[in-house]
Amino acid sequence: MPMTARDYTWLFTPGSTFTEDETGTVGVIHLVDGGQLWLPTGQVVACDPFVGLGQGESEPFTVAVSPGHYRVEAAVATLTRPDQLPSDEPHLRVAAARLVIQDEPTTTWELALQPGQDLAELTEDEFYGYGVDAGTGAFYDASVDGSFPECVADEGPLWDAFDRNKWAPGPHLITAPDTGHNLIAFTSGWGDGAYPTWIGRTAAGEVTCFVTDFFVAPV
């Protein structure tokens, strides 16, 4: 059976806490607003932008939404360990990032799929997700892929946004000056790996959000 979703309502509730069993690390969640993401086609892409942006390799999910502007926010965990002294610089990790389509209660969750992916092919606790090789993730519209030709390695506005903010977790909103297209990027939890994106739905089946889980909070 494929991996099942955790309680993302809890994970996106400010003040939610968790404890990591092995180290005793305590995490406290706060939300960080990432601004408004423009989805001119409504086709959502989630990927590591330093790897996928402009390469034509990150396909949009099979579930699309109405074109428009939608809020992105990150559930950021402040981590502390009982055996460490307090620090002036808190240890922050993005536990999950959410693209909010509508502010309605989510009653069901499903894995976000790309064309050709089949849930029936997954075994126990497996999932489809995107690979991270540069420690970042992002949401953007499928039409944005060619709007940042200057984003190569350590050059361009994507790099500048992270570098200017000393690689703070984000989210960071980056806009292409020529087209007005934008993307919203953030650091990916503990860094590189593979991470699932989930689609939330109302009781009536309408999409409420897309959530990428970076596995910072214990499952």
Task: Print the domain residue range for 20.
Answer: 8-213
Report whether 71 contacts 127 (CB < 8 A): no
Report whether 184 contacts 34 (CB < 8 A): yes
Residue 190's CB is within 10 A of a number of other CB atoms, namely 13
Q: What is the dihedral of CA 191, 101, 76, 193, to 10 degrees?
A: -10
- Residue 3, domain member (yes or no): no
Q: Enter the DSSP assignment of 202.
A: -
Instruction: List the chain pLDDT tens, one digit each, 219 residues.
Output: 789 999 999 999 999 999 988 888 999 999 999 999 999 999 999 999 988 887 777 899 999 999 999 999 999 999 998 877 777 788 999 999 999 999 999 999 999 999 999 999 999 999 999 999 999 999 999 999 877 776 666 667 888 888 887 888 999 999 988 888 999 999 999 999 999 999 999 999 999 999 999 999 987
- Residue 95, domain member (yes or no): yes
- Residue 181, domain member (yes or no): yes
Q: Can you read off the two tokens belonging to residue 159?
A: 């790099």
- Residue 207, domain member (yes or no): yes
Sheet with strand 136-141: strands edge to edge: 44-47, 136-141, 182-187, 172-175
Domains contained in the chain, number: 1
